[in-house]
Amino acid sequence: MKCLDCDTEYSDPNQTICEYCGSELTKEKEPVTSRPASKIDRFLAETGLKELYQKIKKSLKE
């Protein structure tokens, strides 16, 4: 299972909601229909802060 919004992956097949952002998880790689990104998500992606956040989050998990 994978969260389409924050790219967090889960191995538990029963988990349906992302623990970090609250979005619904999907089994597919590509979304069939994606909702428009919020202004803050677009800002984070444009400034490169989203990738930095993902790296920090990943290192904190380990």
Q: What tens digit of pLDDT does each residue of 18-34 get?
A: 888 888 887 765 555 56
d(CA 13, CA 34): 22
State the sign of the Cα–Cα–Cα–Cα dihedral 27, 13, 53, 42: positive
- Confidence at 14, pLDDT banded by 50, 70, 90: confident
Asked whether the predicted pLDDT for residue 2 surpasses 70, the reply is: yes
What is the arithmetic mean of pLDDT over 32-52?
Answer: 79
| Sequence-separated (6 or more) residues with CB below 8 Å from residue 11 | 1
Entry field: residues in the chain? 62
pTM: 0.38
Most confident of 3-7, 13-17, 48-52: 48-52
